[in-house]
Amino acid sequence: MSNGSRVIILPPRGQRVGLSEGGFEAADRDLFEDGGAVRKAPLGGKCHDGRSDMNILRLLRGGSPESRCFIFIVTSLSGLGNAGLVALINHAAERALLGQVVGTQLLVVYLLTLVFFLLANRASLQQTNRFVQSRLEATRRRLVAKIRRADLRTLETLGQSEIYVTVAQETDHLSQTLPLMVGAVQSGFLLAFLLVYIATLSPISFVIVGGFIALGIFVFIRWQRSLSEALAEVHHRETAMLENLSHFTLGFQEIRLNADKNDALFRHFAEVTGQLKDVVVGLGGRWVTLLQFSNAFVFLLVGLVVFVLPMFFTGYTDTIFKIVAASVFAIGPMAAITSVVRLVGRAEAGLGHIYGLERRLDAGAPAAVEPLPRERSPFKAFSTIDLAQTTFAYANAEGETSFVAGPLDLSLRRGEIVFMTGGNGSGKSTALKLLCGLYKPGGGRILCDGVEITEANRQEYREIFSGIFTDFHLFDRPYGVEDAAPQDVERLIARMELADKVGFIKGRFTTRDLSTGQRKRLALIVSLLEDREVYLFDEWAADQDAHFREIFYTEMLPDFKARGKTVVAVTHDDRYWDRCDRRVALDLGMMIPGGAV
Ligand SMILES: Nc1ncnc2c1ncn2[C@@H]1O[C@H](COP(=O)(O)OP(=O)(O)OP(=O)(O)O)[C@@H](O)[C@H]1O
């Protein structure tokens, strides 16, 4: 079975991230909508400048000030309407209690206030939801914009699961939970109005009730922060679970062939999900305590109002009645607020992970430089490319160097066909990624026509390359060249002897469900459509049959040369080694003098 028919949840490891031909687009403007590179805000919300900041507030601070202003106004109006209803009920009840006529006038005012409240409430809920969703969408786009312009090494070390959990799962979770908090914000407004009402009745009651509520909020916030660590653990366990889950899909063929492997993987999965369950249960326990506290808090507040406050009001039954009524009305909003407190912690942690991922992407991000359009790239008409004492080192998770490629000295002339040979792990793929600017040299220089490749021109330099790496990815359509003339594409399909398998309709290939060798041919078609100056082939011919291998070495490579293209091909096909202009051999990351292996 080919890769194309595999069930895949996550993209394969080491998959390259596509950049549009222009490199950076207008959409990237969102990268800076928070006023520049994302500020450091680790879990728990401490910014790098030492200021304590809630991640949720930071998310909401972005976006248009007009929208925020509108939401503030309609939410305040909604709270005002709600408070008005409470005041009217209170007033009517008081009149009834004193034996006075309530009257239809009051009923009309009550109904009008209700309509006003419903309209304001609706506008507030809808606008807030729209605002929150557009902030999340901007965050998602900003994250992906950072991913697509990230350094390859940064992406390789981050890991696919971490990116997937953060970009997809966390933002999805937030899009469900944040709108629920709108109700709590409205309740907050109502609570504020009720407190003001109580203050007008009796300042001492306001101080007691307000002080008690402030104390409760303070305890809640402290408690929330202490949950952050547990929430971070849940995130890590979820990432581990997803990573493990991907083995079932990416390694499906292997496990279906081998029951022991299948069982062992399943045992490991059970262990990982068990650990996830344990941390979630532990977290649940802490939430139960928090919930109990919130319930107790509400009843303590009622107890305070009903049993303690009257002690201060001997003889003022009218006032105490109003205060008790207002406080009882406060129970609803209080309960609404405390019920979403749990979500606040979860949302805070989720946003913490999102901002954490952004920080890591920012740390390894190349400087934001607007590259010239490809047609105007100074390197398009290059004559020579030189690696001068160029080195690159891989480091493991502990920061220890695990492999060093180089120092490499290689001079590449336009129109040359160069074969790169060497044993497994000798550094051929690394050298290719270094050559085309996917990896930044740790030492030495890369020069194109004598111009050193730096952060400022690296993307322009990359644009002269097209590569088919061993871990290549076949996109669902030839992005960037979708508008290629169908007859040109059909001609290439026929040349790759895929005409009976694949068609090109409406800018996309009709299928990607092909054998590995056929998929590589399809990748080559895309590569040819991209029409770059230098072609990098990492063991492209390895999966081709003898017939097509022959075509590749004896027809296609000479064709590339005739069209003035430069080719660097990693190959183990020693019977075709005479088909190149030059052969460079690598061993232990170093070039072997004379090209012999
Ligand atoms: N993503 C990576 N992270 C860390 N180390 C890596 C990574 N890729 C390769 N290496 C290390 O670099 C060394 C060279 O790998 P590379 O893929 O360049 O060799 P190669 O010559 O292309 O091998 P092969 O012929 O097997 O494809 C390997 O031995 C490995 O230790």
User: What pLDDT, on the 0 to 100 scale, is given for residue 149?
Assistant: 85
Distance separating alpha carbons of residues 327 and 208, to the nearest angstrom: 12
Report whether pLDDT(332) > 60.
yes
Q: Closest Cα partner for 470 from 363, 545, 571, 358?
A: 571
Q: What's the mean pLDDT in 140-147?
A: 89
Ligand 1 centroid to 33 CA: how many Å?
A: 38
User: What pLDDT, on the 0 to 100 scale, is given for residue 30?
Assistant: 42
CA-proximal residue: ligand 1, atom 28 (nearest): 425
Ligand 1 centroid to 225 CA: how many Å?
A: 43
Q: What's the mean pLDDT in 75-84?
A: 84
* pLDDT per position as a tens digit, 94-121: 788 778 877 888 899 999 999 999 999 8
Q: Closest Cα partner for 527 from 554, 500, 551, 495?
A: 495
Task: State pTM to two decimals.
Answer: 0.73
Output DSSP code: residue 46. B
Give the pLDDT band of residue 404 (cuts 50, 70, 90): very high
User: What pLDDT, on the 0 to 100 scale, is given for residue 595?
Assistant: 55
User: What is the set of domains in the chain, with CATH numbers?
Assistant: 31-363 (1.20.1560.10), 374-595 (3.40.50.300)
User: What pLDDT, on the 0 to 100 scale, is given for residue 362?
Assistant: 86
Ligand 1 centroid to 405 CA: how many Å?
A: 9
- β-partners of residue 52 are 46
Report whether pLDDT(12) > 60.
no
Report whether pLDDT(571) > 90.
yes
Cis peptide before 407 (omega within 30 of 0): yes
Q: Name which residue leads in pLDDT, 116 or 307.
A: 116
Q: Name which residue leads in pLDDT, 570 or 297.
A: 570
Counting atoms of ligand 1 from 1, which one is nearest the CA of 432?
Answer: 18
Q: What's the mean pLDDT in 306-323?
A: 72
Query: Around 122, how many Cα atoms within 13 Å sit in the side-chain half-sphere?
Result: 6
CA-proximal residue: ligand 1, atom 30 (nearest): 425
Which residues are CB-contacts of 46 (< 8 A; sequence separation ≥ 6)?
Answer: 40, 52, 53
Tokens 């004559």 belong to 383
User: What pLDDT, on the 0 to 100 scale, is given for residue 306?
Assistant: 75
Question: Which tokens sit at 445?
Answer: 């220089």
Report whether pLDDT(22) > 50.
no
Sign of torsion, CA 153 159 165 166? negative
CA-proximal residue: ligand 1, atom 9 (nearest): 430
Q: Closest Cα partner for 127 from 182, 80, 79?
A: 182
Is the ipTM reported for this complex over the cut 0.85? Answer: yes
Counting atoms of ligand 1 from 1, which one is nearest the CA of 586?
Answer: 21
User: What pLDDT, on the 0 to 100 scale, is given for residue 422?
Assistant: 93
Q: Closest Cα partner for 246 from 2, 7, 3?
A: 7
Q: Name which residue leads in pLDDT, 509 or 290.
A: 509
Could you tell which of 151, 156, 158, 402 is best to mutate to test the pocket of ligand 1, judged by most ligand atoms within 8 Å of the CB? Answer: 402
93 vs 171, 253, 471, CA distance in Å? 47, 73, 75
SS3 state of residue 534: strand
Could you tell which of 158, 429, 572 is best to mutate to test the pocket of ligand 1, judged by most ligand atoms within 8 Å of the CB? Answer: 429
Ligand 1 centroid to 400 CA: how many Å?
A: 16
- β-partners of residue 451 are 448
Report whether pLDDT(27) > 60.
no
Counting atoms of ligand 1 from 1, which one is nearest the CA of 395?
Answer: 4
Report the greatest alpha carbon distance in the chain.
111
Amino acid sitting at position 37: A
Contact indicator for 438, 152 with CB cutoff of 8 Å: yes
Question: Which tokens sit at 80?
Answer: 């005002």
CA-proximal residue: ligand 1, atom 11 (nearest): 403
DSSP 270-288: HHHHHHHHHHHHHHHHHHH
Contact indicator for 230, 286 with CB cutoff of 8 Å: yes
Q: Closest Cα partner for 416 from 287, 583, 231?
A: 583
Strands 566-570, 534-538: parallel, antiparallel or unpaired by DSSP? parallel
Counting atoms of ligand 1 from 1, which one is nearest the CA of 427?
Answer: 18
Q: What's the mean pLDDT in 411-437?
A: 95
Ligand 1 centroid to 3 CA: how many Å?
A: 21
Distance separating alpha carbons of residues 462 and 433, to the nearest angstrom: 10
SS3 state of residue 398: coil
* pLDDT per position as a tens digit, 443-460: 999 999 999 999 889 989
- Give the pocket of ligand 1 (CB within 6 Å): 156, 394, 402-403, 422, 424-430, 470
The three-state DSSP-derived secondary structure of 111-151 is HHHHHHHHHHHHHHHHHHHHHHHHHHHHHHHHHHHHHHCCC
Amino acid sitting at position 473: H
- β-partners of residue 296 are none
Distance separating alpha carbons of residues 134 and 365, to the nearest angstrom: 25
Q: Name which residue leads in pLDDT, 203 or 423.
A: 423
Contact indicator for 45, 348 with CB cutoff of 8 Å: yes
Q: What's the mean pLDDT in 360-382?
A: 78
Report whether pLDDT(305) > 60.
yes
Cα angle value 536/250/510 (rounded, 5°)? 65
Ligand 1 centroid to 411 CA: how many Å?
A: 22
Distance separating alpha carbons of residues 406 and 590, to the nearest angstrom: 5
CA-proximal residue: ligand 1, atom 17 (nearest): 429
Ligand 1 centroid to 430 CA: how many Å?
A: 6
Counting atoms of ligand 1 from 1, which one is nearest the CA of 589?
Answer: 14
Edge-to-edge strands, sheet with 401-413: 401-413, 384-395, 443-448, 451-452
Percent of the chain with pLDDT strictly greater than 70:
88
Percent of the chain with pLDDT strictly greater than 90:
34
CA-proximal residue: ligand 1, atom 18 (nearest): 427
Q: How far apart are the first and last CA of the chain?
A: 34
Average of per-residue pLDDT values in the chain: 82
Could you tell which of 426, 584, 590, 597 is best to mutate to test the pocket of ligand 1, judged by most ligand atoms within 8 Å of the CB? Answer: 426
Burial status of residue 399 (CB atoms within 10 A of its CB: 0-12, 13-18, 19 or more): exposed
Contact indicator for 502, 523 with CB cutoff of 8 Å: no
CA-proximal residue: ligand 1, atom 7 (nearest): 394
Q: What's the mean pLDDT in 139-162?
A: 87
User: What pLDDT, on the 0 to 100 scale, is given for residue 222?
Assistant: 76
Report whether pLDDT(325) > 60.
yes
Q: Closest Cα partner for 432 from 469, 461, 471?
A: 469
Which residues are CB-contacts of 170 (< 8 A; sequence separation ≥ 6)?
Answer: 235, 350, 351, 353, 354
Q: What's the mean pLDDT in 421-449?
A: 95
Ligand 1 centroid to 16 CA: how many Å?
A: 15
Contact indicator for 443, 413 with CB cutoff of 8 Å: no
CA-proximal residue: ligand 1, atom 24 (nearest): 424
Contact indicator for 472, 11 with CB cutoff of 8 Å: no
Counting atoms of ligand 1 from 1, which one is nearest the CA of 156?
Answer: 1
* pLDDT per position as a tens digit, 343-354: 777 788 888 888
Q: What's the mean pLDDT in 163-185?
A: 79
Give the pLDDT band of residue 597 (cuts 50, 70, 90): very low
Could you tell which of 390, 394, 424 is best to mutate to test the pocket of ligand 1, judged by most ligand atoms within 8 Å of the CB? Answer: 394
Ligand 1 centroid to 584 CA: how many Å?
A: 17
Report whether pLDDT(69) > 70.
yes
Sign of torsion, CA 567 569 575 578? positive
User: What pLDDT, on the 0 to 100 scale, is given for residue 11?
Assistant: 37
SS3 state of residue 513: coil
